[in-house]
Structure 1
Amino acid sequence: VTRSLPMTLPENYGLAFYLQGMAPINNLEFKLVDAGGDNVWWYNQRNFEFPVEWSKIGIKKRHISFAWGPTNDRELKSFNRIEIIIASATGGKGFIVLDDLTFQKLEPVGAALPQPIATATTSADENHRVEMAIDGDIANQWRSAPASEAQEVVLDLGSVQEFGGLVIDWDQKDYARSFQVLTCSNHDAWDSVYQVTASKGGRSYIPLKEAEARYIKLRLTASARGQGYGIGNIAVKEIAFSAAPEAVYYEMAKDLPRGMLPKYFYQEQSYWTISGVNNDQREALINEEGMVEVDKSSFSIEPFVTCQYPAIVHGESDNQPKLPAMERQFYTWHDVARQQSLEQDELPIPSVTWNHPEWQMNVRVFSAGEPEQSSLYLTYHLKNISDHDLEGCLHLAIRPFQVNPPWQFLNWPGGVSKIKAIRRQGQEIVVNDAKRVIMVTPCDGFGAATFDQGDITTSLAEGSLPAQESVRDHLGYASAALAYKYELRPGQSKRIDVIVPFYDQFHGELPISAKAIERIHRQVRNFWIDKIQTVEFKLPKLHSLSPGDLSSTHAAMSISPEKLIRTVHSNLAYILINRDGAGIQPGSRSYERSWIRDGSLTSAALLRLGVIDEVRDFLDWYSSFQFANGKVPCVVDLRGPDPVPENDSHGQLIFALRQYYLFSHDRDFL
């Protein structure tokens, strides 16, 4: 949709329009184009969920960035027209309706939010005034009158301000089980912007994306003990607090013990590898900590281990006997030494092992099945390597996090992946009313939590599971966990198997035994051995080097021939798994596109490794996207061929065709 609207822009501004529709998730692009049509600024909302009801889409100056064009001055000072575009992410079809486009000049953005002024319905006494809830010291508390059930706390920011949400520290006992957050700009018309119905107290994180108001009201409607409310601190957060789905978790990572959240919430990269079947379009990821992303842009399953250790509790006097008790220890990826491996050091069957002085936990993943009917198999082994009995619980947490980090954003943005609903249904866990987690090994317990009840790991660390087995979350940040109890003598181990179908149905027989899974595992292993061990390598033997020879070149040459061969074999498997159908592509997530440049060079490598059919299929498929005028597209993805010119794409295709002929002598194909 294009509208001509020439405009010179003030120092700060905002645009808005209303939108509703029935459409699948795709990219919503808002573009501002200059008079020549060459320079474009945009606000690109990837994987946008189109609202069924009328919703206001607000766009501020800070949202708009330079997209492309020849200009050297990338600051947007004026534009000639507006374009609103739906760009394919998941594809499909539908419709949207737009209305009421507005432009508003805004005041310059202030340096920081002002200190609010607080008022409350009641205060218990002079030592617990409402001002104490905003002084930044959680030891100083506001407490309401103990007899009143409904209370209100109002914050006045002095003028209309933009902010990103709230962080509320509650009294340990007298917290609000249910409350509302309301905002307004004139103290008359209050809008309800957030509602919590089953809080557990502690610290509440309230993300309010693009909030704008002068007044913020907390309406407290149910106290935990019916004896009023206590608040240690209310912090009004800057816009960045909720600017992206990951933003609130960055804040939580500062408060939670390290290891409770994935590494990228600590701004650290975690390495990962892939699991999938040949010729399929679905793949899983497992990172170096043992967290498994079960499908593209999907949720993850992550292990946590609780151990019970004997402790001594003293009686009230020395004459009383000492009573045995148990101390609980909760372990995350941060608390253990970790080791990663591939089966036979080269097959695409990865494992991650947690090593603790008294126990060892291993997670292995592999994928099996025909293309478009495949499934992911996860096997966990927990072994007692100590000289005494161990007991505790292995938890498998299901959380709205991808393995792919948020800074990987091309095509499939990483980071948070929404879980709007999760429930137990017999021996299955159903996520978002679609994706199934099949418990081959029945669990000993299952619990789910909304975001407002805290991440599931906070319950696990406390030694409990939420009582509810089904939740829906208004933010899409629900989490849950399967519990598997263990009692292991020295040398004993416990095995847990889980299957996640990549597609709607599991194409196999249920129930399935561990023995049957191992039979499937052997079939997968043998397939990949035959698929990647296609040529014989003859390399010179490794000679020992003197200290004076340890230059970078010599160091590279000092890798054993066996390791070099295994590296080649592994990467051949990764190339085949990363393919979507016939399309050769360099990755499964951010680089899930088929470039003719990459495809031609990869094809040359595959041919030298004896892989012929897959190269022919790729060339046959890619050639079908050649334009009517003979132009060869630089890249093809879900949206089809990209019209952006790449002047050597023709030569790259011809190079690949010639390479194929040299190794196949297939004149009929040419």
Structure 2
Amino acid sequence: QPERAELTRPKGPWDVDDVDLSEGSGNRIDLGGLIVTGAPGLEMRLNVDERTQAVSAVMLVAEDGALELSKGSFSIEPLIRTQRGWLTWADVKIEQSLADGYLPMPSVTWRHAEVQLTTTAYTSGGARDAVTHAVYRVVNPGKKPARLTLALAIRPFQVNPPAQFLNTVGGVSPIHELAFQGNAVLVDAVPRVFPRTPPDAFQAASIEAGQPCEWLASSTPRANRVRDEGGFASGVMLYELDLPAGGSREITLDLALQPNGVFKANSESQEDVAARWRERLNRVDASVPKDSRALADTLKTALAHVLINRDGPALQPGSRAYERSWIRDGALTSEMLLRLGHEDVVKEFLRWYAPYQFANGKAPCCVDRRGADPVPENDSQGEFLFLIDETYRYTRDIELLRELWPAARKTVAYMDKLRLSERTEENQQGDRKAFYGLMPASISHEGYAAKPMHSYWDNFWSLAGYESAVRIARTLGQKEDMHRFIESRDQFRSDLYRSLAVAMQAHDI
């Protein structure tokens, strides 16, 4: 229990800063964003999806054209057979592109003297009925007819590599059972791949048979169903294509994003999806010289990635390792969203994030499915206030500002407590003079995780937060609080500038 009697929640929950975790540490369960203390008669049951640990509907496309359906899932990889044998990504020239140069509808093109293959992926529908479509367009670039075979291989590997290990380990995605049944590929008995055009054949094999490009080249018959106890089953859908000179053919797969195999067709066409993205990404246009158009296109694609990686109202920097909502990322991402015409997205994020504030006014550095992360990152308060202020500056939503005023007020009080804790006599001596009046040491940078450090990053954001708080109070007519915030800001700014001077002198800057 906390020693500070002024806390408004005498029965908890409490912020980690207000509790002595060294007492009874063996009787606590650390769930990341929540630490639970055991008690007689207390039983805890955690319901976890044992297959995936999470549900994600964001697909990855590798630079070579392999597709990973959802977080941690298997991948689909193309191969092409010509008169000279099987071709893989290693045998062709590869190009990547986006529809219109910026839409989140990627294509990967293989170029070879005997064949050209373009893999295009896009997702139709909304959050509840989203379906990803993979379109494979095979072209005969020659002057004579050609007989080609397209093989779409289901592989027990993620696009996400093993080097990506935070929260979700990349690399292998085990497949124990693989079969083709009812015009669908069943992965571990769950229908995941629905070809619009049925394949001419489906073959499956365990790891003992080698890689698909190896056992496809052999004359050994393969079954359309396989079980691999080691989780390395693979299978291929085979399409025999007779193309005239310059001719082409398209094969489309509908992919169930959710690991439960739920699939519901929708009526959106590829052009419908492109039109929807054009509207969302062109609410604000950048006027740039023709030779700088790629820069403006990159901005639009980045906006698309932000919108794709949302999890409901939560803004997340990624869909795999960084599937969490940091207030640091959220504040800066929201600034971009506000400038590019997506005020509604920012309001939803802010209203979702604010209730996770701790009772003592601390803004959580991060929120995920486990709740608010209590780790001390002392830039968080300034970023939270900055976000409230910027949202009002762009939207002029005074009701939202009033709604968030209690949270803003508590945040300033917490910032005052932090900085005043460093205005000590000890910090006026020797090497510690630069710490006087600053935010305490924290781990707001990955490099500080092992040892918290005083960071000017924290303090610059805190100063920005004080500035924002003054503007918020002025706008709402809270004059008494405004004057108090100004006093805190001025004192903190003076201490920060003095610290900078001390540091510059100490390091001969």
TM-score range, shorter-chain basis?
Answer: 0.5 to 0.7
Q: Which residue number corresponds to residue 223 of structure 1?
A: none
2:262 corresponds to 1:505: yes
How do residues 97-496 of structure 1 correspond to structure 2 at under 5 angstroms? 281-308=56-83, 328-462=84-218, 467-496=222-251
Letter in 1 for 2:265: G
Q: Which residue number corresponds to residue 111 of structure 1?
A: none
Pair 634,296 (structure 1): closer, same or farther in 2 beyond 3 Å: same
Cα distance in structure 1, aligned partners of 2:99 and 2:57: 21
Displacement of 1:296 after TM fit?
0.7
The secondary structure found in structure 2 opposite 1:526 is helix
Displacement of 1:591 after TM fit?
1.2
The secondary structure found in structure 2 opposite 1:475 is coil
Pair 347,357 (structure 1): closer, same or farther in 2 beyond 3 Å: same
- Contact 1:286 1:403 survives alignment (8 Å): yes
Q: Which residue number corresponds to residue 325 of structure 2?
A: 594
Displacement of 1:87 after TM fit?
7.0
Displacement of 1:395 after TM fit?
0.2
Between Structure 1 and Structure 2, how many residues are aligned? 363
Cα distance in structure 2, aligned partners of 1:533 and 1:630: 38
Cα distance in structure 2, aligned partners of 1:413 and 1:82: 29
Displacement of 1:641 after TM fit?
1.3
The secondary structure found in structure 1 opposite 2:128 is coil
Cα distance in structure 2, aligned partners of 1:443 and 1:485: 8
The secondary structure found in structure 1 opposite 2:137 is strand
Letter in 2 for 1:475: G
Q: Which residue number corresponds to residue 490 of structure 2?
A: none
Kindly indicate which of the two structures has a greater share of residues assigned to strand.
1
Displacement of 1:378 after TM fit?
0.4
The secondary structure found in structure 1 opposite 2:265 is coil
Pair 84,660 (structure 1): closer, same or farther in 2 beyond 3 Å: closer
Pair 469,637 (structure 1): closer, same or farther in 2 beyond 3 Å: same
2:304 corresponds to 1:573: yes
Kindly indicate which of the two structures has a greater share of residues assigned to helix.
2
Cα distance in structure 1, aligned partners of 2:132 and 2:226: 25
Q: Which residue number corresponds to residue 343 of structure 2?
A: 612
Displacement of 1:565 after TM fit?
1.2
2:400 corresponds to 1:625: no
Q: Which residue number corresponds to residue 530 of structure 1?
A: 279
Cα distance in structure 2, aligned partners of 1:360 and 1:656: 48
Q: Which residue number corresponds to residue 380 of structure 2?
A: 649
Residue in structure 1 matching 2:47, options 83, 88, 93: 93
Aligned-pair identity in percent equals 41
Cα distance in structure 1, aligned partners of 2:346 and 2:150: 44
- Contact 1:586 1:598 survives alignment (8 Å): yes
The secondary structure found in structure 2 opposite 1:668 is helix
| Ranges of 4+ aligned residues in structure 1 off by more than 4 Å | 80-88
Higher relative contact order (CA 8 A, sep 6+): 2
- Larger CA deviation: 560-569 vs 610-619: 560-569
Displacement of 1:456 after TM fit?
2.5
Q: Which residue number corresponds to residue 446 of structure 2?
A: none
TM-score, length of structure 2 as denominator length? 0.67
- Give the unaligned 5+ runs of structure 1: 1-35, 39-79, 97-279, 309-327, 510-515, 543-559
The CA RMSD over aligned residues, in Å, is 2.6
Cα distance in structure 2, aligned partners of 1:409 and 1:447: 32
The secondary structure found in structure 1 opposite 2:153 is strand
- Contact 2:364 2:380 survives alignment (8 Å): yes
Cα distance in structure 1, aligned partners of 2:226 and 2:211: 13
Cα distance in structure 1, aligned partners of 2:352 and 2:21: 34
Q: Which residue number corresponds to residue 369 of structure 2?
A: 638
User: 1:345-378 CA distances to partner (integer Å, 9 max, x unpaired)?
Assistant: 0100000000011221110000111103211100
User: 1:153-175 CA distances to partner (integer Å, 9 max, x unpaired)?
Assistant: xxxxxxxxxxxxxxxxxxxxxxx
Displacement of 1:445 after TM fit?
0.5
Cα distance in structure 2, aligned partners of 1:355 and 1:307: 13
Letter in 2 for 1:641: A
- Contact 2:31 2:370 survives alignment (8 Å): no
2:398 corresponds to 1:667: yes
The secondary structure found in structure 2 opposite 1:603 is helix
How do residues 7-156 of structure 1 correspond to structure 2 at under 5 angstroms? 92-93=46-47
Displacement of 1:454 after TM fit?
2.4
2:269 corresponds to 1:520: yes
TM-score, length of structure 1 as denominator length? 0.52
Cα distance in structure 2, aligned partners of 1:613 and 1:95: 32
- Contact 1:447 1:465 survives alignment (8 Å): no
Cα distance in structure 1, aligned partners of 2:60 and 2:162: 15
Q: Which residue number corresponds to residue 323 of structure 1?
A: none
